Structure 1
Amino acid sequence: MRELVARHGDSAYVGAGTVTTAAQAEQAADAGAEFLVSPGTLPSLAEAMRATGRVTMTGALTPSEVMLALELGVDVVKIFPASLGGPGFLGALRGPFPDAPLMPTGGVTPDNVADWFAAGALAVGAGGDLASSALLAASDWDAIEQRAVRFAEALRAARTA
């Protein structure tokens, strides 16, 4: 994943989540997803996701779950729901896992994105705070675009800090 980011800079990637079955992983890969994201780490699902050849991100919260994800060879460990521990928790995970590719998701906002990177995040995932169910149901694309602009500005600021 680090090579992808370094090589492509500000490019956007299209992926699929929330992947919870092997069939979903295959369907997403066939549809062109460049990465696959699951909220948890099940050995059979991680294997199916990896078999697609796509960048694979599976979820973990506890150190044991992080260890399992790394043992299964996932590309990125999605710390979810990251809001339960905040950036301090992610920083604490860096102790036993200094080189693990960690991506907090669930609780990332424009106001705290810099804190996540300072705590050691490789990347961040933004779902509901970026495009809430209510905004999607209302087709409020302007509000979603405004939120995306806030995230992009916060990300730029975090990179230069």
Structure 2
Amino acid sequence: MQLAESAQVKQITVAKAKGASFALSPIDPLDFVEECHRQGVLAIPSALTSNECWALHRRGTRLIKLFPAGLLSPAILKSMLDITPLGENLNILPSGSVTPENAKKWLEAGAAVIGMGSNLVGKDVSFHPGTEDFNKARADWQATGRSTAEKVFKELVAV
């Protein structure tokens, strides 16, 4: 496990050299936050519980990916952020099962930003270009996905 985490941390240097200003992770690899700070890159590690979020905050994390958010709910996020000192100090980015239908609820619950991935941009990001699955996903994006995304963006601008 430590080797995989070490490789992920080494990618921060490569990403920074290519112009990255932030690094997003589905976990909290060893030294991830600290290496991001050394490189001048915004670290966005993941946590699920209030204790994990608070521990990341104490290490200087400015934005925490709540992942997988689908295991929680906007109501649980609101309850978590209503507890002092959490809500005064944490910037949370729910990701994983955030959808166009529940995006506004996450923001109203106190999320700083939201991550929607394929629930917003379409499933074609998961397939190799040119494959049958990719072509089906791309057709779905063109038929319904783009208009859904435009609608969500318009709604969320008002939040």
Given the two structures, how large is their TM-score scaled by the length of structure 1? 0.77
What are the superposed Cα offsets for residues 108-148 of structure 1, whole Å, 9 maximum, x if unpaired?
A: 11111111111111100112323326763315445446535
Instruction: Give the match's secondary structure for 2:40.
Output: coil
More deviation in 80-89 or 23-32? 23-32
Match of 1:105 among 89, 95, 110: 95
Aligned residues: 143
Alignment correspondent of 1:62: 49
1:131 aligns with 122
Unmatched runs of 5 consecutive residues or more in structure 1: 1-19
**How far off is 1:65 after superposition?**
0.6
Structure 1 position 151, deviation (Å): 2.9
Q: Kindly state the Cα deviation for residue 158 of structure 1 after the two structures are TM-superposed.
A: 2.7
Select between 76-85 and 139-148 the one with higher mean Cα deviation: 139-148
**Correspondence 1:21 to 2:8:** yes
Native 8 Å contact 2:118 2:125 kept in 1: no
C-alpha spacing 1:109/1:46, structure 2 compared with 1 (3 Å) = same
Residue of structure 2 equivalent to 1:79: 66
User: Which residue identity does 1:98 align to in structure 2?
Assistant: G
What SS does the aligned partner of 2:65 have? strand
In the alignment, does 2:152 pair up with 1:154? yes
Amino acid in structure 1 at the alignment position of 2:74: P
* Contact persistence 1:79–1:104 (CA under 8 A): yes
Distance 1:98 1:148, change over 3 A: farther
**Alignment RMSD:** 2.4
Alignment partner, residue 89 of structure 1: 76
User: Is the alpha carbon distance of 1:125 and 1:51 closer, same or farther for their aligned partners in structure 2, counting shifts above 3 Å?
Assistant: same
User: Compared with structure 1, are the counterparts of its residues 42 and 159 closer, same or farther at alpha carbon in structure 2 (3 Å cutoff)?
Assistant: same
Q: TM-score, with normalisation over the residues of structure 2?
A: 0.77
